[in-house]
Amino acid sequence: MMMTNPNDDMLDDLFATARAGARTPGDDLTARVLADAQTEQDNFAPLSRAKPPSLWFMMKDALGGWPALSGLAAAMVAGVWIGVAPPNAVQDLTAGLLGDEVSVGLMPLSYGFETGAFIDG
Amino acid sequence: MAIGLAHSLMTLPSDPFADASDEALLVAYANGDRQAAAHLTARLLPRVLGQATRMLAHAAEAEDVAQDAMMRLWKIAPVWRQGEAQVSTWLYRVVANLCTDRLRKRGRAMPLDQVAEPMDGAPSALAGMQTQMRMTALSDALSQLPERQAQAVSLRHLEGLANPEIAQIMDISVRSVESLTARGKRALANVLAGRKAELGYDDDEPE
């Protein structure tokens, strides 16, 4: 294709000229771009930079909100009251289940200290 | 003021972002970091402006496109999906699309005042005017092409990118890139064929 070669030369020269032409952004363009960036950032920053929720809020949320909390508060008051002035039925129940005197061993017996398994010869 | 701002962009003290990727900077920007935008602008704006200038051959239009492209970057920052695309690839696509939009709207005749704006670094006013005329002719010729051809040709021949990268930018196969650039270049040569003399390619001497 003899006819297209000169055109290709022209095109290649045009491409090369275009590639060689670099432009440094002027300061007003840079300033405009930075101003845009600032404006945009101010628009979405409150969302993405919101403070993490407080511990109180997270607990309330985990328990199920205010209705759950009011029930929890009522149960707590009742518990305190039962501790201060236990009704007879409660006293009888605990006595029946645990006995009047309760002793709790801190060391389980099954470890073998009693049987002398750890005493050499 | 002009030099001062550019200078301050170049020499931000104790630069914690120097080794950060574009993507990391974009995330920092989205998280409210005040310096990240300056770093991203210093890194990306020159290339964005260069691409727009090469496609449009018009200083003011290219600046508008560059600002618009950067605006789109700021806007997408909070929802940027990490690891999916490189910021530079994404920007190439945005600028190419914005430029072909402009080219489509551009009429055949360019206003005269646009020819009078010489590109930076012109050796002389006369040579600068011829260079500007040639670049305008190239840009006008691009506007005559189907958009995808114009984008492929400009990414290949004006940006000097490799076909696989262009394929990524345009989200098509490498084979499609080859086909688009070949057809686009042929179409460009046809459009410009009638303007050889006018553009100073008439004689046998180079330039």
Q: Which of B47, B54, B64 should one mutate to test binding to chain A, selecting the residue with the greatest count of A CBs within 10 A?
A: B54
Count how many pairs of residues, chain A against chain B, have C-beta atoms within 8 Å.
Answer: 132
Q: Which two tokens stand for residue A60?
A: 């309330």
Please choose, from the candidates B134, B126, B93, B86, the residue with its C-alpha nearest in 3D space to the C-alpha of residue B110.
B134
Average pLDDT over residues B86-103: 96
Residue B158, amino acid:
L
- Residue A82 and residue A21: Cα distance in Å, rounded? 88
Regarding an ipTM greater than 0.95, the answer is no
pLDDT band for position B134 (50/70/90)?
very high
Contact A23 B41 (CB under 8 A): no
Do residues A7 and B138 lie in contact, with contact meaning Cβ atoms separated by under 8 Å? Answer: no
Asked if the model's pLDDT at residue A118 lies above 70, the reply is no
- Which residues in B lie closer than 8 A to residue A17 (C-beta atoms)? 131, 134-135
Q: What is the pLDDT of residues A57-91, one digit of tens each?
A: 777 777 777 777 788 788 888 877 777 777 777 77
CA distance to partner chain A, nearest, from residue B12 (Å): 15
Q: Give the predicted TM-score (pTM) of the model.
A: 0.67
Q: Which two tokens stand for residue A14?
A: 């045009």
Average pLDDT over residues B13-28: 83
Q: What is the pLDDT of residues A87-109, one digit of tens each?
A: 777 777 767 776 665 566 666 66
Better pLDDT: B30 or B82: B30
Chain B residue closest in CA terms to A26: B2
